[in-house]
């Protein structure tokens, strides 16, 4: 949650700076320009995309894959087969 909080604060500061730097005066009042709004949205979408890619990479890196086959399993099966034991059905 700390990372989310820090990211939120950073995005708020960056967004405020973008909107403030692109403000225009209409009848003496400063308002946000469409360039500022589009820039703010582009920065937010870019940050979301980067975060989503990082999450996918981290999830793939930490997800356990299939267990490797045991080298003793084949040896035991072959040994039992040579001595007439059926290991699949559990019959001697």
Q: Tell me how many domains the chain contains.
A: 1
Question: pLDDT band at 73, cuts 50/70/90?
Answer: low
| Alpha-carbon span 47 to 69, nearest angstrom | 41
Whether 89 is in a domain gets the answer: no
What is the C-alpha separation between 40 and 11, in angstroms, rounded? Answer: 9
Confidence of residue 58 (pLDDT cuts 50, 70, 90): confident
**Residue 71 forms part of a structural domain:** yes
Q: What is the domain extent for residue 78? A: 2-82
Domain membership of residue 66 (yes or no) is yes
Predicted model pTM: 0.56
Q: What is the mean pLDDT of the chain?
A: 77
- DSSP at 29: E
pLDDT at position 74 is 55
Look at residue 41 and tell me whether its pLDDT is greater than 60: yes
Is residue 62 domain-resident? yes
pLDDT value at position 84?
Answer: 59
In a domain, 88, yes or no: no
pLDDT of 69 reads 67
């Amino acid at each position: 949650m700390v990372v989310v909080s820090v990211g939120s604060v950073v995005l708020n500061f960056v967004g405020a700076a973008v909107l403030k730097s692109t403000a225009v005066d209409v009848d003496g009042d400063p308002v946000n320009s469409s360039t500022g709004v589009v820039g703010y949205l582009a920065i937010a979408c870019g940050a979301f995309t980067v975060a989503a890619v990082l999450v996918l990479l981290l999830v793939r890196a930490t997800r356990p894959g299939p267990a490797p086959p045991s080298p003793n399993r084949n040896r035991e099966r072959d040994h039992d087969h040579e001595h007439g034991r059926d290991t699949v059905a559990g019959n001697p």
